[in-house]
Structure 1
Amino acid sequence: MNQPAAPSERYAKGMETRRSVLGDAHVDRASAQATAFDQPFQTLITESAWGTVWSGTQWTKRERSIVTIALLAALGQDDEVAMHVRATANTGATEEDIREALMHVAIYAGVPAANHAFKIAKLALAELRANNSQEENKG
């Protein structure tokens, strides 16, 4: 149940982009957890979100990352905010970019939404730093 029997070109591009942004480990976990019930949804997001929107050429992955974090924070999508903050390790968005996105959230979507998103982002950034530190200590 990991993917359609004959993936479309958009699905293949979406999976490539999804892996480049979220990392192989995350995508492999999500794919392994797919069931017959949610596989059509996984195909939909892979083709549309990743194969169309995230694979577009008008914005960089860094720009898409910043906008995505702001939108998810404004919507109160905590798990998705954390996931996309962690993904900045692959998109080139910086901690300063994340902070500025969340400052915009405060003004345009409300201080409580931004305050909560800052807490989530701080935890996700600390996790990234810890992982990077562990990797440096291995090498």
Structure 2
Amino acid sequence: MPDRHEAGMKTRRAVLGDAHVDRAEAAKTAFDAPFQDLITEGAWGTVWSRPDLSRRDRSLITLALLAGLGHWDEVAMHVRATVNTGATPDEVREAMLHVAIYAGVPAANHALKIVRSTYADMGIEL
């Protein structure tokens, strides 16, 4: 596998977009740089860069996990990333149905509000 940081940055940019990553990099400080490196290398360079699941599948799994755990800012960020991963609004809705059954209706209900609002902000009609 190539350098995990390099691979992670490439995957992170492909999924989240250059603008998002550029903002995150510009906001990085000496204090949180080790955390940002951990995310880039661990999440993006190791897990998201593996070949056995598509980015679309990883996107849907990530959204379901984030919704189930109540990480609302991250839900919005990963909804925005669906334009790059290929996960459709219908597929995201289906993932939220799984969240309702396996993680709870309140989590899915709140996540759906965020999903709808994020898609509206993106100019995507549902």
1:80 is the counterpart of 2:56: no
Q: Which is higher, the Rg of structure 1 or of structure 2?
A: 1
Deviation at 1:128, TM superposition (A): 1.6
TM-score, normalisation: structure 2: 0.96
Question: Out of 45, 57, 62, which is 1:63 matched to?
Answer: 57
TM-score, normalisation: structure 1: 0.87
Question: Out of 12, 33, 36, which is 2:6 matched to?
Answer: 12
Which consecutive residues of structure 2, in runs of 5 or more, have no partner in the other structure? none
How many residues in Structure 1 have an aligned counterpart in Structure 2? 123
Cα separation, 1, equivalents of 2:11 and 2:123: 24
> What is the alpha-carbon root mean square deviation over aligned residues?
1.0
Q: How does 1:39-50 map to 2 (within 5 A)?
A: 39-50=33-44
Question: Out of 23, 32, 35, which is 1:29 matched to?
Answer: 23
Q: Deviations over 1:86-118 (max 9, x none)?
A: 000000000011000000000000000000000
Question: Out of 30, 38, 56, which is 2:32 matched to?
Answer: 38
Secondary structure, counterpart of 2:50 in structure 1:
coil
Identity of aligned residues (%): 65
Task: Tell me which stretches of 4 or more aligned residues in structure 1 moved more than 3 Å.
Answer: none
Which consecutive residues of structure 1, in runs of 5 or more, have no partner in the other structure? 1-7, 131-139
